[in-house]
Structure 1
Amino acid sequence: MKKIRFIVFVCIVFAFSGCFSQPMFYATALHKEAVGVTIARSTPYNCTVLGEIEGRSDTELGAMGANLQTLRDSAINDAKNTASQVVGANKRIMLRVFNEMAICMQGNRPVNCTEREIGFIRSYRLNAQVFDCGQK
């Protein structure tokens, strides 16, 4: 009887162990076509402005591995992937980031935490201009 209770207890513990684990944050992977996309600090010369794009990264509250820098890097990868799809292959592409915003959850309300992480980080958004700088 004790053996059966022990087996039932172990089964219950294993069944509920997945409910209490923290989710993992997985950053957006950089596509092969987007590897050559560069970030410019100012408007590049001899390039054509194609428009604006948004890079974004979201996570679950309390996800392991999620911090301000990892979400920013993931949002940049998302922007580079989008830019490479917009411009096409065999082009030199540059992005100029002109707006960034990180959202953290403090209590039950979202707050801007672009400068420093306050509470649990929830998402990171950035807006960038896309430049076509000619053939590779």
Structure 2
Amino acid sequence: MNTKIVSHTHKVVIGATLALFMAGCFGPTVPYVPKELEKQARSVTVAKSTPYNCRLLGEVEGQDDAEGKIGPSYEKIREGALNDLRNTAADVAHGKRALVAPTHEKLMCSSVGFFGGRSTPFECKPNALGKKVVAQSYRIHAQVFDCGEK
């Protein structure tokens, strides 16, 4: 009788261990949500070129990553990095009318294995994203300009 209890307990432990192992093999299940744009950063403008009649305040960086989450679209992860960039620029501008001009952007991806495991991140282009290559992080460097009072 004692052997039946041990063997049943043994089966339960093995089953629970296998269930935990398999749950970790199929990748993340938490959806990605971009970093939020803070209230004071809503007035920060993003420009495609260096503005005229504005004073350079410095450089900032915005970044977002999808570590441990379902791979986001290029647009969503870039939106999160832009929001972070604008949040940081608002802090640098101290209530001034700020404008950011991106100087460099980098998308990092990872390839997805058969059981959902991911490779070491590597730099990639947006058109590389798909079922086997997912966005991992996005980074934007920019110059911040003071363009007067709000």
Query: CA deviation digits over 1:89-124, x for unaligned, max 9?
Result: 2x1110001100100012523222234243021100
Does the alignment pair 1:93 with 2:98? Answer: yes
Question: Between Structure 1 and Structure 2, which shows a larger proportion of helix residues?
Answer: 2
Shift of residue 48 of structure 1?
A: 0.5
Equivalence for 2:120: 109
Contact between 1:30 and 1:78, CA under 8 Å: does it hold in 2?
yes
Identity of aligned residues (%): 39
Compute the RMSD of aligned alpha carbons. Answer: 2.4
Equivalence for 2:142: 128
Specify which of 32, 40, 63 is matched with residue 33 of structure 1: 40
Give distance in 2, aligned partners of 1:31 and 1:110.
28
The structure whose Rg is larger is 2
Give distance in 2, aligned partners of 1:58 and 1:128.
18
Question: Between Structure 1 and Structure 2, which shows a larger proportion of strand residues?
Answer: 1
Which stretches in structure 1 are left out of the alignment for 5+ residues?
A: 1-11
Specify which of 63, 75, 81 is matched with residue 75 of structure 1: 81
* Structure 2 SS opposite 1:109: coil
Give distance in 2, aligned partners of 1:117 and 1:37.
31
Give distance in 2, aligned partners of 1:77 and 1:65.
18
Which stretches in structure 2 are left out of the alignment for 5+ residues?
A: 1-15, 113-118
Give distance in 2, aligned partners of 1:109 and 1:95.
31
Q: Structure 2: which amino acid aligns with 1:127?
A: H
Aligned residues: 122
Give distance in 1, aligned partners of 2:90 and 2:125.
26
